Each structure stands twice: as C-alpha cells, then as structure tokens.
Amino acid sequence: MSFAEYRRDLRATYGTGQATEHSYRPALRALLEALGNDIKAINEPTQADYGAPDFIVQRRQVPIGHIECKDIGTNLDAVEESEQVQRYREALPNLVLTDYLEFRWFANGERRAAARLGRFDSDGRWRPESDGDDAVRQLLADFYDAEVPIVGQPAELARRMASKTRLLRSAIEQILTGDANGAPALAGLLASYREVLINDLNVSKFADLQAQTAAYGLFAARCLHTGPASAFSRQSAVFADTTPFLRDVFGHIAGPNADSRIAWIIDDLALLLARADMAAVLEDFGTATRQEDPIVHFYEDFLAAYDPDLREMRGVYYTPEPVVSYIVRSVDWVLRSRFGLSAGLADTATVDVAMEEGGTQTLPRVLVLDPAAGTGTFLREVVSHIRDDLAKRGLAGAWSSYVPEHLLPRLFGFELLMAAYTICHLKLAMEISGDAEQYTLPDGGRLGVFLTNSLTEAHEDASGPMFAAEIVREAREADAVKRDHPVMVVIGNPPYSGHSANKGKWINDLMRGRDADDPQSYFSVDGEPSTSATPSGSTTTT
C-alpha cells in the first residue's frame, strides 16, 4: 500500500461519520507491512482487551516493536502521559503511538521522533502536511531498524524484566476477573493454590505470583540454555534440571502452551533475555571466590523494581554472603566439636529411625533443612562448603558418586513462592554440577526442595483442581521430611518480617496454645502475656 492509498482509505472511512478507532486498523496494517521488508503487523483484538498494544510488529517471526492506536483526532499529548502509555513506554523499548495521522516513536521510553501525514479540518476536509509522507516513512524505518538493547548489568536487566512483569501481572488479573472459564490453566492453578498452599489467595496476589514465576522461569531457562543466544525463545525454554511439576506449570503459564492473551509479553521477555549478555550478568556466579552472588542480587533488585511492598510483605531480603558463609561454617564447627561428627556437614553417618507403622529405617544422621529456602542461598552454601571440604581431604574426584549417595538424600528445602522455588532449583543444580559438569541430575531425578507452606499441615486429598494433585505431591514429599526424617540441622534466615503475610489457622492455633497436646502459648511467658512477642511467619530468605 502506498501513502496515497492509505490516505484514500482513511478519508473514505472517516467520511462515513460512523468510524471508530478499530475501523482504520486494516489500512494501517497494510501500510506497515508495505513499508518494511519481511514485516508482519499482528492485530489481535482479544489481546488488546487484556492490556496488549494494538499491533505487535514482527520481522521473520521475531517481535521488533509495538504500536498503540487511538482514534483520529485524539489528543496524543494527553495520551502520551496516560497511565497506560507510561506503562508501555517503561516496558516496551520500541513503541509507536499514533492516531493514524500523527506518529510518535518512543525508544527505551523516550520520544525519538514525531511525524504527521496531515489532518482533517472542522469541515472534514483533508489538509496534508508538508513533507509528511517522507517524515512518516523515515520514522517507521527507524522504528523497524531499532534493536532490542543488549543488557549486561544485573540491575538494568532486573529493571527491564520488572516492567514487563508488571504488564504480565495486569494481563493475568484481567483475564481471571473477566472470563476465567476461557483460561482453564490459569484458573486451575489458582484453584489449586487456594486449596493446597494459600487458602486466602486472591486473584491479584495470584497474578503477582504467576507473573514472577514466568519471569524467573524464563530467566532460569536462559541460564540453562546451551545453544546460540539468538535461538532462545518461549518455545525453546526447557527445565531439564528441575521438577516435573515445575516444568508442567511453567509450560502452561509461560511455555509453548501459554494463553495467547499473555504470550506476547512472554515473547518480549524471552527476546530481552535472548539479547542479554548473560556472561556479564552472571560473571561471578559459580566461581571459586564468589564474593557476591549475582542471582541473589538479581532477585532482590527485581523485587525492588517490581514491587517493593511485596518484598516487604514476604520478607525477601538479601543475606550478605559473608553472613551466610559464617553461619554455615559455624554449623559445621558445632557438628564436629559438639556432636562428634568428624566430617561436619559432609559427614555420612547414619541413624536407625523407628517408623510409625513399625520397624526401623536407616537414614543419614546429618539431615539439613531450610524451611524458608527462598532462592537457595543457604543450601547452596552448604553444597559449596561440603565440596570444598572433600577437596581438602583429597576426595574431589568422588563428587559424582558422593552427590547421589550422600548429599541429595539429606539436603532439603521448603518454599512457598514459586518464583523463589524456581531460582532455588536453578542455583542448586548449577552448584551441584560444578564448573566441569561433575554431576547432572538423571532423568526423573530431583532436588529435595519442595513447593510447600512450612506453616500448614500436610494435605492428603489429591483430588480437585487441575494442578492440585501435583502440588499435593510436593506437599506430601515435604511432609515425609517433617514427619519421618530426623532433621538435625535447621538453617536459614530468621523471619525478619515481624508480621508475616503467611498466617494460617494451624500455625496460629499452635502459637496461641490451642493445641490439646501442647497448650503453651507463644504469646505468654510463665503464664503472663508477653509484650515483646510478635506473630511468627514463614519468611522467604535469599
């Protein structure tokens, strides 16, 4: 389509007196595709109803930008400053805002150019703009040629991911408050969460959790990606070293089976990660010195940019690595000096445990549990400490046999938030494999980190919503650790958030002495009310 044909179509449609914003989209789509090589402009009205810009522009099936349309004559100055467009400008690095006559191009949130073809006067007559065709042609050419920026700084990547994740959160919430029946995967997962993990979970908080899960799931998949960076996409993202449950849920939320109304945001996230310099982002991760853990900093930076209030509510705070190292080394010293375990955390001693159904079971004596594992910083440091200890004793070559026989059977973590759970699995898999890929989890194998609420009773009913059985399976395996395993080491951060959001009837009854077997209250000392006690709760620790 030429500019002359585009103007003719606009004038004909405008002249009917009944045109709406949507009426002009076929003409604009034809113009966009005619002016660019291998350009495809995709307009999905159903996606626009859930927060998507009107057009997603692709070149050879790769998203390169977005276009937001308003009706002819709309005040674009006001629209440019609106909440909707401000959100787009923050999240979408290559954006055009147009009323079909004027075009405004924004790159990385800043307006780079504006051009106008002409205008309709008060009598409906067309008034062309001098050099308007050439100016719009150049603006669109620059828009087509703009590249997604390469990001190599963790804080900058976190900021860009956070802005896209907010778009995703809003879209998920709109879908579930609109037509939940048309989104069985999202609705099923929400019902499963409510039934098994967080009984009072509302749609807004669920959308929050799943948006983070998608963002971190893609981040994890990008870290595990071994092919060319350009080949990374939502469709290629895999979780070879995580749990079947996580792979299944991620596939429905952000993988090949993602809802089409949010898939465009997932594609944008994947493109950002494909273009990221992951070597720079993870520069120090897995090295011998590890003065800082970029993935931990990334998680904190992400939440600070994404939703600082959520970070406060869930108690997500970075624990300085020297503090983590000190705590782990102190536990190792106590095991050696006070419990007579000569190898400390690396000790392979066993103990016979009486089972409820009768008989005994031989289990490792040094069982380690982080009940609020977060992104796995403490568990990762335990793994690192054990490996270093083996190396000092000349047993570094035994790592590949030590891991399945003596490490995985006694290393456990519980986590309530799926985003942190995802990163925890990633970090531990990377730490256990080592720089030389000394150990890889076999097909069907998994780490002992479970998606479960440490402060609730186990759920025994595996019937119900779509993902309930999988989440219950996670909870049951976690319950087996609580009930049958003589956990010797409980490690991790204390719950710094004095008023946790994780409050359930079971834990509150225990704290307030409503348990018939143990009527002592956490809120009293020697029968007198305590003025310093605060409600306890699970805190996600990083």
Q: Judge whether 541 lies within some domain.
A: no
- CA nearest neighbour of 48 among 10, 21, 77: 21
> Do both 373 and 509 map to the same domain?
yes
What is the total count of domains within the chain? 3
- CA nearest neighbour of 243 among 416, 403, 441, 408: 441
Mean pLDDT in residue range 301-321: 68
Q: Are 374 and 316 in contact (CB under 8 A)?
A: yes
> Do both 242 and 340 map to the same domain?
no
Its domain, for residue 430, covers 313-529
Model confidence at 491: pLDDT above 80: yes
pLDDT of residue 459: 54
> Do both 133 and 206 map to the same domain?
no
pLDDT per residue over 114-170, tens digit each? 999 999 988 888 898 888 999 999 999 999 988 777 777 777 888 888 889 988 998
Domain containing residue 92: CATH number: 3.90.1570
What stretches of 373-453 adopt beta strand conformation (E)? 411-415, 449-451
pLDDT band for position 534 (cuts 50, 70, 90)? very low
Domain boundary (145, 165, 187) is at 145
Domain boundary (287, 308, 329) is at 308
- Chain centre to alpha carbon of residue 113: 34
pLDDT of residue 271: 87
Please give the Cα distance from 184 to 190 (Å, whole number).
Answer: 10
Name which residue leads in pLDDT, 489 or 283.
Answer: 489
pLDDT of residue 286: 44
pLDDT of residue 530: 59
Q: Judge whether 176 lies within some domain.
A: yes
Please give the Cα distance from 213 to 306 (Å, whole number).
Answer: 13
Name which residue leads in pLDDT, 36 or 369.
Answer: 369
> Do both 420 and 506 map to the same domain?
yes
Please give the Cα distance from 388 to 345 (Å, whole number).
Answer: 11
Q: Judge whether 538 lies within some domain.
A: no
pLDDT band for position 539 (cuts 50, 70, 90)? very low
- Tokens 């190599």 sit on residue: 152
pLDDT per residue over 248-270, tens digit each? 777 777 776 777 788 888 888 88
> Do both 193 and 335 map to the same domain?
no
CA angle 352, 353, 359 (to 5 degrees): 95
Would you state the structure tokens that stand for residue 389, as one six-digit string? 């200890």
- Chain centre to alpha carbon of residue 309: 17
> Do both 501 and 355 map to the same domain?
yes
pLDDT of residue 289: 38
Which of 201-205, 429-433, 483-487, 495-499 shows the lowest mean pLDDT across its residues? Answer: 495-499
Q: Judge whether 537 lies within some domain.
A: no
> Do both 70 and 217 map to the same domain?
no
- In percent, how much of the chain has pLDDT > 90? 27
- Tokens 């879209």 sit on residue: 171
- Tokens 């993935």 sit on residue: 295
Q: Judge whether 285 lies within some domain.
A: yes
Mean pLDDT in residue range 375-401: 90
Q: Judge whether 534 lies within some domain.
A: no
pLDDT of residue 515: 58
pLDDT band for position 533 (cuts 50, 70, 90)? very low
> Do both 366 and 511 map to the same domain?
yes
Mean pLDDT in residue range 341-363: 87
- In percent, how much of the chain has pLDDT > 70? 78
- The chain-wide mean pLDDT, for the chain, equals 80
> Do both 72 and 178 map to the same domain?
no
> Do both 116 and 158 map to the same domain?
no
> Do both 106 and 251 map to the same domain?
no
pLDDT per residue over 17-72, tens digit each? 888 888 999 999 999 999 988 899 988 766 666 778 899 998 887 888 999 999 99
Residue type for position 111? R
Q: What are phi and psi of 136, to 5 degrees?
A: -70, -40
Q: Judge whether 447 lies within some domain.
A: yes
Sign of the torsion angle spanned by Cα atoms 78, 84, 87, 89: negative
Burial class of residue 68, CB neighbours in 10 A (0-12, 13-18, 19+): buried
Q: Are 144 and 155 in contact (CB under 8 A)?
A: no
> Do both 360 and 378 map to the same domain?
yes
Mean pLDDT in residue range 450-477: 68
Q: How far is CA 260 from CA 95, 206, 246, 266, in A?
A: 21, 19, 20, 10
Domain boundary (126, 145, 164) is at 145
Q: Judge whether 136 lies within some domain.
A: yes
Burial class of residue 404, CB neighbours in 10 A (0-12, 13-18, 19+): middle
pLDDT of residue 494: 60
